[in-house]
Structure 1
């Protein structure tokens, strides 16, 4: 599905990412974690093709990301940046419908099937009652739901999420991630997401990749990564690791 092979990125003689290699298999949910400035968002931009690699290669579905046209890539990959949707004076419905555009030919109008897909996704994400509201009247959490609905309508095979829960309260955080998890389980979607909250990463990701100073420190299950020794070395603080009372996964107390 996705393969990074010895990927590096250098800007003005500063190395942002150095010799990073990992694979994401179809149907997995993988979390990129690490401290601020570790290179997580840079990696996401390299994967999406927004940045060109300085060395190595990024393969999407077995083909170098540089060889994908924007339209073909948008038919199979959806990207949600940490900035989310800007509060434009545009309706929720029209915003979500934009997710269908990669599947339309030039000057082709939306079909009845496209309209039905949008209505279905609005219902799944609890946005039906908000479909006629303007984005600039919504809260940040509501706009993030709209962003996910737009991505769902796009029907990608791979979803890239860069800090999808930034600036959201705990209610909206779990709401957004529950929508993504249900979508993944329903369709076999592959997800790669950057998360700062390590507890959320442990709860929602099948595998974690810990990055620091542009390099992979360790990758594996939450039990492999979220240990006192590893986190103390990377984050320079001493956490207390406890077990989640229901899911029996590591959770962090400071």
Structure 2
């Protein structure tokens, strides 16, 4: 579904990524974790087609990213950043409807089926009561929920999330990630997300890729990644590992 093979990225005579290789299987959720400057966001920009690798290849759905047209790539891949939707003076409904644009021809207008998809997504994301509200009247967490609804209407096969919960309080963090997880399980969506919160990554990701200094340090499930020695080496801080009282997933305290 998504493969990264020996990707290197050099910029301004600095090596940002060094021979990064991994795959994300169809229907799985993989978390990219690591300290600031590890190369996570640089990698996400290249996977989404915003930047090009110095060497190596990135394939989405069996084709190199650079060979997709912008519109075709937008039909297959949706990207959600930590900034989400800007507070433009448009309604929630209008913002979500924008997710249908990659599926329309140049002069084509939205049709009945597009409107039905928007109505359905507004219902399952709990946004129906806010459909007429303006984006610039919403909180950051509410706009992020609208951004997810817009991505759902886009009907991608791959979802890229770059720190989608960074500016959100704990309630909105859980709300946003629950929406994403439900979507993954309902549609067999393939997800690659950058998260700084290791506890959330352990709870919501099937696998995690730990990066540092432009390289992959370790890949595995929460049991394999949430290791005191590994995390201390990468983050320069010694965590205490405890167990979540309900899921038994390893969690860290500092």
Identify the TM-score tier after normalising by the shorter chain: over 0.9
* Partner in structure 2 of residue 25 of structure 1: 25
Q: Partner of 1:148 in structure 2?
A: 148
Residue of structure 2 equivalent to 1:159: 159
Q: Distance in 2 between matches of 1:112 and 1:229?
A: 56
How far apart, in 1, do the equivalents of 2:55 and 2:110 lie?
41
Q: Number of paired residues?
A: 254
Q: Quick one: distance in 2 between partners of 1:109 and 1:238?
A: 56
Where does residue 2 of structure 1 map in the other structure? 2
Report the alpha carbon displacement of residue 3 of structure 1 after superposing the two structures with TM: 0.4
Q: Which runs of 5+ in 2 are unaligned?
A: none
Query: Do the aligned partners of 2:82 and 2:167 also contact (CA within 8 Å) in 1?
Result: no
Q: Return the offset for 1:214.
A: 0.6
> Which residue number corresponds to residue 54 of structure 1?
54
- Once the two structures are TM-superposed, the CA of residue 208 in structure 1 deviates from its matched residue by 0.2
Structure 2 counterparts to residues 1-254 of structure 1, below 5 A: 1-254=1-254
Shift of 1:131: 0.8
Query: 1:92 Cα shift?
Result: 0.7
CA contact (8 A) 2:79 2:160 kept: yes
* 1:81 positional shift: 1.4
C-alpha displacement of 1:113: 0.7
| Residue aligned with 2:85, SS | coil
Separation (CA, whole Å) in 2 of partners of 1:22 and 1:148: 26
CA shift, 1:149, in A, is 0.2
- Deviation of the 1:248 alpha carbon: 1.2
SS at 1:16 equivalent = strand
CA contact (8 A) 2:87 2:136 kept: yes
Counterpart-to-counterpart distance in 2, 1:78 and 1:34: 23
Which digits, 9 at most, give the CA deviation of each residue in 1:122-158, with x for residues without a partner?
Answer: 1111111111111110000000000000000000000
2:33/2:40 contact within 8 Å kept: yes
Task: Describe the superposition over 1:23-65 as per-residue Cα deviations: whole angstroms up to 9, x where unpaired.
Answer: 0000000000000111110000010010010010101111110
Partners of 1:114 and 1:48 in 2: CA distance: 24
Rounded Cα–Cα distance in structure 2 between residues aligned with 1:46 and 1:106: 26
Runs of 4+ residues over 2 Å off in structure 1:
none
